[in-house]
Chains A and B, each alone.
Chain A
Amino acid sequence: MRYETPETTRDAAALLAAEKGEAYILAGGTDLLVRMKAGLLEPDLLVDIKQVPAMNGIQQTAAGFRIGAAVPAVELGEHRALGRTWPGVVEAAKLIGSDQVQGRCTIAGNLCNASPAADTVPALMAAGAKAVVVGPERRRTVPVEKLPRGPGTMALAKSEVVEAILLPQRPAKSGDAYLRFIPRTEMDIAVVGAAVNLTLERGVVKTARIALGAVAPTAVLVPRAARAIIGTRLDDAALEKMAAACSAACNPIDDKRGTIAYRVKVAGVLARRAACIAYERAGGKR
């Protein structure tokens, strides 16, 4: 196995493009190295992106935040301004594994691993996050919800690399929240995840985005759930309608962590709780 440490994103993409065998990007390795150890993959080439300056660091710009694809989750937790502006995204990142896992794992890796249960993906979709995707020839900016295609598959070409995740700047009176249900308090895979992001105008929900994880082959945005609370003060009737829309959007699997009926029900319950937290964070009083 070849191990390369390019210093630019373009070089990383070129290395992937030139490799005839199996080639993978290595970010934090918390998915990739586990799969290699299990013998599920035998790469001919690993391209470690952690020495690419453009993929390191969190920048606050006029357009919002730019989180490099090599930034470990622990750095999101330490970034005050990011935590104040996007508490839901940060709380999702802080749910990944243990402190040890967070010392390595990245949110871009969480996205590119394309697990339906990835914790940060619903939070990123709700936030309206975009991924900066770089290939050997061109660079494009893609909404996060356009990338996961199904368990383990992404709408990325073989030689394309995610360079950074962009979070937009947000108006005052905005809040987001992410909740997941697992049978224990730490270190487990989501049975259901729910993310809500909203902006208020005089206590009324003006815009909203709601996304669910672990209830379909990919994390999903649920526009109908968002419409159910837009124009309301998040009264019980609106919450009821939103929860029903979330349950209706589910297409989950049955497994040892949760049955289909259970996941469908819990999706509504969690979305409701996340909406109330986001509303409060936006300064609303129910």
Chain B
Amino acid sequence: MSTSTVSTTINGDAVQFACPTDESLLDAIRNRVGLTGVKEGCGTGDCGACSITMDGRLVCSCLVLGVEANGRAIETVEGMADGDQLHPLQEKFIEHAALQCGICTPGFLIAARVLLERNPDPTEKEIRYALAGNLCRCTGYDKIVRAVQAAAKEMRKASKKRTRK
């Protein structure tokens, strides 16, 4: 198996790793870079637990090869908090008890962040469609939807305050 050296940016930091050409980006991020926030559920694109963004696009890292990350910018759940300050989505997930076992949570957080960047005031239906690629076996989804709605509201308030200043 041939190995390749990959230079990429993860959560703003330049990162280099070497991986076999047929290794998934999911495995490379977890086992070579050591960021284990990204989870493996199915490994086949169905569950969304491995969601990340690559050059701003939401993708399943289990369906990307590690070598494809060369020269690209990657964001994982580890990049969402600002030091000790959690992202509003993370805060609202805790407040609304939108997780139980938590394996789906990093994927939901990343997918919800991409949704709110594109659409700061989504309807419940829009939230449910946007998160259709993320499966959760514990919560029944309702609390996740409420948490996203609450975070959206808070983020809209914060951005209004910023524009007033």
Binding site for B on A (CB under 8 A): 1-3, 26, 28-30, 33-34, 36-38, 46, 48, 50, 72, 74, 97-101, 103-104, 185-187
Contacts and interface: CB of A to CB of B under 8 A. Distances in A.
B48 A29 contact: no
B64 A72 contact: no
Given A26-B65, A99-B115, 4 more contacts: A33-B64, A103-B54, A104-B63, A186-B132
Given A104-B63, A104-B64, A97 B21 contact: no
Interface stretch (B38-46, B85-93, B144-152): B38-46
B21 A100 contact: no
Contact of A1 (B1, B60, B129): B1
B24 A187 contact: no
Interface string B50-66: 01001001111011110
Interface residues of B, number: 32
Given A101-B45, A187-B132, A36 B22 contact: yes
B133 A37 contact: no
Contacts of B114: 99
Contacts of B45: 30, 34, 97-98, 100-101
B67 A29 contact: no
A187 B132 CA distance: 7
A29 B1 contact: no
Given A3-B67, A33-B24, A100 B44 contact: no
Interface string B18-48: 0011101000000000000000000111101
A99 B21 contact: no
Contact of A29 (B20, B43, B65, B130): B65
B65 A33 contact: yes
B67 A100 contact: no
A37 B43 CA distance: 8
29 contacts: A1-B20, A1-B21, A2-B2, A3-B4, A3-B21, A28-B63, A29-B63, A33-B62, A33-B63, A34-B45, A34-B63, A37-B43, A50-B68, A72-B57, A97-B45, A98-B133, A98-B134, A99-B58, A99-B111, A99-B130, A99-B132, A100-B51, A100-B60, A100-B111, A101-B133, A104-B59, A185-B132, A186-B133, A187-B133
Contacts of A3: 2, 4, 21, 65, 67
Interface of B: 1-2, 4, 20-22, 24, 43-46, 48, 51, 54, 57-60, 62-65, 67-68, 111, 114-115, 129-130, 132-134
A2 B4 CA distance: 10
B104 to A, nearest CB: 13
The interface centre, meaning the residue of A28, A37, A72, A99 with most chain B CB atoms within 10 A of its CB, is A99
A103 B21 CA distance: 21
Q: Which 3 A-B pairs have the closest CB atoms?
A: A98-B133, A186-B132, A103-B57
Contacts of B130: 99
Nearest to B135: A187
Given A33-B24, A100-B60, A48 B68 contact: yes
B76 to A, nearest CB: 14
A83 B138 CA distance: 38
Contacts of A33: 24, 62-65
Contacts of B133: 97-101, 186-187
Nearest to A32: B63
A240 B57 CA distance: 44
A83 to B, nearest CB: 15
